[in-house]
Amino acid sequence: MKTHKSKPIIVVGSSNTDMIIKVHRIPKPGETILGGEFSTAPGGKGANQAVAAARAGGDVIFIAKIGNDLFGKQTIQNLKKDKISTKYVSIDPQHPSGVALIFVARDGENSIAVAPGANANLQPQDVILASNALENGGLILMQLEIPLDTIKTAANLAAKNNIPVILNPAPATQLPDDLLQLCSIITPNESETEILTGVKITSEKSIIKAAHKLMDKGPNTVIITLGARGAFVVSKDLTGLIPAFKVKPVDTTAAGDVFNGALAVAIQEGKSLIDALTFANAAAALSVTKLGAQPSAPYRKEIIDFLNTHKNN
DSSP string, 126-156: HHHHTHHHHHT-SEEEE-SSS-HHHHHHHHH
Letter for the amino acid at 231? A
218, with CB counted inside 10 A (0-12, 13-18, 19+), is middle
Active site residue 257: yes
81, with CB counted inside 10 A (0-12, 13-18, 19+), is exposed
Cis before 42 (ω within 30): no
Q: What residues have CB less than 8 Å from 282, skipping those under 6 apart?
A: 245, 262, 303, 306, 307, 310
Annotated catalytic residue within 69, 237, 257, 305: 257
Letter for the amino acid at 6? S
The dihedral built from the CA positions of residue 62, 66, 71 and 74, taken in this order, carries a sign that is positive
| Nearest Cα residue to 35 out of 23, 47, 25 | 23
| Nearest Cα residue to 137 out of 298, 292, 2, 300 | 2
Q: Report yes or no: 44 and 16 within 8 Å, Cβ to Cβ.
A: yes
Q: Report yes or no: 224 and 201 within 8 Å, Cβ to Cβ.
A: yes
Catalytic residues: 257
